[in-house]
Amino acid sequence: MQLQRFKNVNAATLDEAISVLAAGSAMAVAGGTDVVSTLRAQILRDYPETIVNLKTIAPSLDYIREEGGMLKIGALTRVGDIAGNSIVYGKYTALAEAAHKTASPNVRELGTIGGNVCQLSRCWYFRKRDNRFDCIRKGGTLCNAVEGDNRYHSIFGDIMGCVCVNASDIAPALIALGATIVTTKREIEAEQFWDFAIPGSTILDVDEIITEIQVPEPNSDVKSAFVKFALRKSIDFPVVNCAAAIGGGVASICLNAVFVTPYRPTAAEEAIAGKPITEDNAEAAGEEAIKNSEPLSMNSWKIQIAKTMVKRAILSCQ
C-alpha cells in the first residue's frame, strides 16, 4: 500500500517543529518505526497533511549523561544506544534490560526512547488497514475487542470502554525507576504520562514534544530488573512484561501489556516491600498483583503469566 502524499518539514529547531504541529494536521516523526507503518496502513480517521521530521534536530536531543544525581536521556536517543550504555546497565539496570529486549536489533538502531513511550496501540482492530474498524480509540463508539478476538488485551478492565493494552517495553522500566518525562511545556511523572481520558494515548498536547527523560539515581541498596514474555523472543511486542526496583524497605513494580496504561500492582509492592527477596515472598507478591484481574473471554491465560512476571522481576532484584 502506498503512502498518501504529504508535506515533509525537516525541522531545524524545536521551535520550528512546535510551530508546524500547532498549525494542525501534522504529525511528528523521529525514528519512524511506528509512525511510518501507521501512515502506510492508513489506520487513522484523518491522514496528516504534514510530517515533521525531528531527526534533523537530533544532535541536541541525542545524549545519555549523568548530571546532578540524575540520569538524563535525550528524547531522540536510540533504544540501542541505551541498551548498550554501561552507566545505564550498571545503575539503572531495568531500563537497560528493557531497551535490550525491545523489538529487534535493526529496530533498536532506529527507534528512539521518545517514540517508544509515545507509540500507538497495537490492538489489531485499531491497526486494521484502511481504518476498517472505527473504534473507541479513534473516537468511535465501539471497542471491537470486547466481543471479538481479545486474547492479548487487558486483564484489568477497560478505560472508557477500550481494552487495548500499552505495548511499550521502556514504559514499565521508567515507572518502576521513578522517571520524569520532560517536554517543551512541562515535566510529567512517568506514571502520569498515559491518558486515562483517551484510551491508549498520552497526555501530550498536539504541539508538545518530549525533550528528555530523567531518572533519579537509585540508592546503592536498590536493585532493578526487567522481564518480558513474548511469543517471538527476539523481535516481538510483549504479551506481558514487568519492571521492578526493590531495596531500602521500598518496592516499585510496574506491569505492562496488561491494561490500557502501564499498571502498578500496589498490593504486590506492599507485599514485598521491606521483606527479604525469597521464592515464597516473590510468589506471594505475584499473587497479590493479579487479585484485581478482570479477564476477557479469551485472555484469562495472561493472568498466570502476569503473576509469573512479577515473581521473576522481584527475584531478579536479589
Query: Per-residue confidence of the chain (318 residues) as pLDDT tens digits?
Result: 567 889 999 999 999 999 999 999 999 999 988 888 888 899 999 889 999 999 999 789 999 999 999 999 999 999 999 999 999 999 999 999 999 999 999 999 999 999 999 999 999 999 999 999 999 988 899 999 999 999 999 999 999 999 999 999 999 999 999 999 999 999 999 999 998 777 668 999 999 999 999 999 999 999 999 999 999 876 789 999 999 999 999 999 999 999 999 999 999 999 999 999 999 999 999 999 999 999 999 999 999 999 999 999 999 999
C-alpha 131/C-alpha 202 separation (Å) is 21
Q: What is the pLDDT of residue 234?
A: 66
Contact 213, 75 (CB under 8 A): yes
Cell of 5: 502524499
Q: Which of 73, 13, 14, 10 is nearest to 208 (CA)?
A: 14
C-alpha 238/C-alpha 112 separation (Å) is 18
C-alpha 151/C-alpha 296 separation (Å) is 8
C-alpha 85/C-alpha 100 separation (Å) is 10
Cell of 225: 530488573
Q: Which of 56, 281, 275, 264 is nearest to 171 (CA)?
A: 264
Q: What is the pLDDT of residue 239?
A: 97
Q: What is the pLDDT of residue 201?
A: 85
Q: Which of 65, 24, 17, 7 is nearest to 210 (CA)?
A: 17
**In terms of DSSP H, where are the helices of 138-259?**
144-147, 170-176
240: number of Cβ within 10 Å: 25
